[in-house]
Structure 1
Amino acid sequence: MVDVLVIGGGNAALCAALMAAEAGASVLLLEASPREWRGGNSQHTRNLRCMHDAPQDVLVEAYPEEEFWQDLLKVTGGLTDEHLARLTIRASSTCRDWMRKHGVHFQPPLSGALHVARTNAFFMGGGKALVNAYYRSAEKLGVRVRYEAPVERIELDGERRFVAAWVKGERISARACVLAAGGFESNREWLREAWGRNERGEWPADNFLIRGTRFNQGVLLKHLLDDHGADRIGDPTQAHMVAIDARAPLYDGGICTRIDCVSLGVVVNRQGERFYDEGEDFWPKRYAIWGRLVAQQPGQIAYSIIDAKAIGRFMPPVFPGVQAGSLPELAAKLGLDVGTFMRTLQDYNAACRPGSFDHTRLDDCRTEGLAPPKTHWARPIDTPPFHAYAVRPGVTFTYLGLRTDDTAAVRFGGVPSANLFVAGEMMAGNVLGKGYTAGVGMSIGTAFGRIAGTNAARAALTQGQDHAVA
């Protein structure tokens, strides 16, 4: 019998496996994907949001706890557990040395349009390099890894203690278990069930693209909630959902499919109308609301419109957009009603008030008398050539999950399990009720992966000692 069974293969699972192994436990990690696709959504990540009170290694200036908390409070609209959120924030300030010990390298501070050199530490080589480093370190520590090993169900005893997991008909027992198998974003049937039909009779979920892994089907999450009655947290329609290139692949498009020019222009729906404030806040704090906004539009599609003045001020998309020498020509190329589109752009241009444009700060360029307004970076779209990028909702991970506490234990009727723990996307809804700010998913996964691994090892080794005494 193994001491600790870790179910999942991304950042949170690997952090749990490494911590458990460091504590002296024998560890088996079950990854549903083949080896070449290992790492879940973590392989597509780039950075970790970190609290720090002064300049540190790859982080400039300071990003204190209270500012991090206020950023999180703003994007979640208060739908967050403050105790667990602050635990995550504090843990983010001390994890980098541990990560380096396991082979993770960080880039020097970045500058440019993303404005995150102060708040986020970027991984050298991205998420794939981080995942590979962790797997190499796990192997050195004696962690056994099985690929193509999707867990169908788990066994619990009458006291809600973990007993065993089932993989392709095989029963695998362990003294403790960490659940880190991701959300249900790749389960189209569950997405359809959650979102239902809209007032136009559409199934919005049918037009969602999945930015990450195809292996996050939510099988274990549904099993724990429906079959074992685990305490739940979160809304099944809430997710890290980004407006991404409508030409992106169905799965694994990752970061390169994001369209980052939204705050520098306007966004119109299929009817040629604006529907939200494009300049509400810095893009890293607001980009993850745009997928949901587009999901609420007809046909779940929208178009980000910019002119020549915006070029060079945002991370360029992988594929070029639609280009035209005039706005009517652009509307025609997009298949939009030219008259409605032109009224929208003319109203916007007329509402722009002069100011000191600066895309690196919350400037004073705004609209007046326009609904919805554009609060910052509002400049007339009047300089050809004009560009448009069609966008659709890109789901990264879902927020429905298992309720937990600061021990990372899975709870049943408010009572924490003695040996079943959870980390990563399966519990992120405790901190993220809605919204997102760049890098916080990795902060949550790293903090709770480490907590879950430590406590699973403690539970397993204590149980082993009890058996030895008996």
Structure 2
Amino acid sequence: MQLYTLRGEMDQKHLNFDIVVIGGGNAALTAAVEARLGGASVLVLEHAPKAMRGGNSRHTRNIRAMHAAPTSVLTEAYLEDEYWDDLQRVTGGQTDGELAKLTIRSTQDALPFMARCGVKFQPSLSGTLSLSRTNAFFLGGGKALLNAYYATAEALGVEVLYDTQITEVTLEGHRVRRLKAVSKGFPLELACKIVIAASGGFQANIEWLKEAWGPSAANFLIRGTPYAQGGVLRNLLDQGVASVGDPTQCHAVAIDGRAPKFDGGIATRLDCVPFSIVVNKHGQRFYDEGEDVWPKRYAIWGRLVAQQPDQVAYSIIDARAEKLFMPSVFPAIKAESIAALAEKLGLEPTALEETVSRYNAACVPGDFDSSTLDGVHTEGLSPPKSNWARPILQPPFIGYPLRPGITFTYLGVKVNERAEVIMRDERVVENLYASGEIMAGSILGKGYLAGFGMAIGTVFGRIAGKEAARNVRY
């Protein structure tokens, strides 16, 4: 790939690259490392400045991995059939089975690859023990993961340009011919050999979200990077690349309503829902809070809250539940009575008192156990609560405001098992590959499984890097 128009700090350089990777997160870096190990010269174009590099990977903390026996950080075994069943359950079958099973099987090789890149792992800690068998946690979280990848890539000779936004990916026929970008305020144009698109979804583009969701999207909070504007995705779809996924489907969780508009990350997530009742602005419950264990259901709650008036809800617990979950980064809202709590939350006191009273009366006594599906449920209540249905009786009463926290969108480009991008006429784009959130809709039609986004990005990043390097050679 020849750099032929650039003004600024790279003047006087004449560089040629075999492969350009668009993006700077997990999916991009795994692709860049594999492509470089395959003998190709590689340039990474990261939209964000260096201090904000890494996209949503900055906020991640684990990857879901298949394994046949215990490892240094994973307990017991987690085999393909169970992994597949878990994915089927959360997606309702809306997944490409071949690509999904390829992802699942490939995760058993992911951890050794990551370790070779300097990524370190730790056992599950308190609050994540339910994932100790399925998910490997990164020591130091997403930033440490990214630092390891960048250090490995740079040691291998991968070049990185930060603060570089792609403005156009030019397709002619079934090939990418050139890239246009703005790099640190200066125009950049590159003639192409091979491109890997790993630039994420469009979740930070509020206007695009409004196209799918309507005006309610203005109330969404974006958990991850503000740089996920979807420019590359839109550009490719406008030029005839086949799309997959529904623009209204996304990884959306319920987060603290006081979180910032962008980049609040995982710290803003609220895990109190299973042990609470959740009400809308009218003080009414709207879904079964105890339907399943939290790692298999937390990702539905952003969408549920998004469907409520003003896209807001409130989680209500009593003092007995306060220590059962990781607390919010914001102070709990407390009161000595349900009516007083309602006033602090901006709810109508009588409506909330009546909802709590009906819930308490419907709770069936049982052996409460926060660590498992305990079957402690309600009877005669709609919607029901299937587990952890303990009356809200002991002051102080506690409330948290909830809003939809969008992590990433599922509308993306269609790819095959080699990570090659497919046009609407079903032909392959000869020199374009994709990995990560920009193609995850092929596998995640709806719903989410904890750690699965990292699995997709790692697996398809590695596939894209290897295939692109092989294509350069031939």
Which residue is equivalent to 2:286? Answer: 275
Which of 299, 319, 331 is the equivalent residue of 1:288?
A: 299
Deviates more, 1:292-301 or 1:327-336: 327-336
Which of 160, 165, 186 is the equivalent residue of 2:179?
A: 165
Q: Does 1:10 align with 2:28?
A: no
Q: Deviations over 1:57-116 (max 9, x none)?
A: 210011111111111111111111111111111111111111111110001233435511
SS in 2 for 1:80: coil
Alpha carbons 1:111, 1:117 under 8 Å: kept: no
Name the CA shift for 1:114/1:292 in 2 (closer, same or farther; >3 Å). Answer: farther
Q: Does 1:374 align with 2:389?
A: no
Which residue is equivalent to 2:332? Answer: 321
Alpha carbons 1:113, 1:360 under 8 Å: kept: no
Which residue is equivalent to 1:432? Answer: 444
Query: Distance between the aligned counterparts of 1:342 and 1:220, measured in 2?
Result: 50
Alpha carbons 1:76, 1:434 under 8 Å: kept: yes
Query: Distance between the aligned counterparts of 1:351 and 1:223, measured in 2?
Result: 53
Alpha carbons 1:45, 1:127 under 8 Å: kept: yes
Q: Deviations over 1:256-315 (max 9, x none)?
A: 000110000100000000000000111111111111100110111000111111121111
Query: Distance between the aligned counterparts of 2:307 and 2:129, measured in 1?
Result: 26
Instruction: Give the counterpart letter for 2:229 in structure 1.
Output: Q
Instruction: Give the counterpart letter for 1:17 in structure 2.
Output: A
Query: Distance between the aligned counterparts of 1:327 and 1:155, measured in 2?
Result: 59
TM-score under structure 2 length normalisation: 0.94
SS in 2 for 1:259: coil
Q: Deviations over 1:202-248 (max 9, x none)?
A: x210100110000010001001001x110000110111111111111
Query: Distance between the aligned counterparts of 1:178 and 1:249, measured in 2?
Result: 31
Deviates more, 1:364-373 or 1:108-117: 108-117
Q: Deviations over 1:345-386 (max 9, x none)?
A: 111111111111111111110111111111111110111111
Deviates more, 1:106-115 or 1:394-403: 106-115
Which of 391, 415, 423 is the equivalent residue of 2:427?
A: 415
Root-mean-square deviation (CA), in Å?
1.0
Which residue is equivalent to 2:10? Answer: none
Which of 112, 115, 123 is the equivalent residue of 1:100?
A: 115
Misfit runs of 4+, over 6 Å = none
Q: Does 1:65 align with 2:76?
A: no
Q: Does 1:254 align with 2:270?
A: no
Deviates more, 1:239-248 or 1:104-113: 104-113
Q: Does 1:183 align with 2:198?
A: no
Query: Distance between the aligned counterparts of 2:432 and 2:58, measured in 1?
Result: 26
Cα displacement (A) at 1:164: 1.8
Which residue is equivalent to 1:34? Answer: 49
Which residue is equivalent to 1:465? Answer: none
Alpha carbons 1:419, 1:460 under 8 Å: kept: no
Query: Distance between the aligned counterparts of 2:229 and 2:459, measured in 1?
Result: 23
Which residue is equivalent to 1:211? Answer: 223
Which of 417, 428, 448 is the equivalent residue of 1:406?
A: 417
Which residue is equivalent to 1:346? Answer: 357
SS in 2 for 1:93: helix
Q: Deviations over 1:322-353 (max 9, x none)?
A: 10111111112112111211111111111111
Instruction: Give the counterpart letter for 2:28 in structure 1.
Output: A
Query: Distance between the aligned counterparts of 1:405 and 1:261, measured in 2?
Result: 39
Which residue is equivalent to 1:145? Answer: 160
Alpha carbons 1:113, 1:314 under 8 Å: kept: no
Instruction: Give the counterpart letter for 1:190 in structure 2.
Output: W
Q: Deviations over 1:172-210 (max 9, x none)?
A: 1231110000100111110111112xxxxxx21010011
Deviates more, 1:56-65 or 1:119-128: 56-65
Which residue is equivalent to 2:11? Answer: none
Instruction: Give the counterpart letter for 2:387 in structure 1.
Output: H
Which of 80, 87, 109 is the equivalent residue of 2:102?
A: 87
Unaligned runs of 5+ in 2: 2-16
Q: Does 1:311 align with 2:322?
A: yes
Instruction: Give the counterpart letter for 2:410 in structure 1.
Output: Y
Which of 245, 251, 274 is the equivalent residue of 1:234?
A: 245
Query: Distance between the aligned counterparts of 1:294 and 1:47, measured in 2?
Result: 25
Between the two proteins, what is the percent identity of the paired residues?
A: 57
Instruction: Give the counterpart letter for 1:164 in structure 2.
Output: R
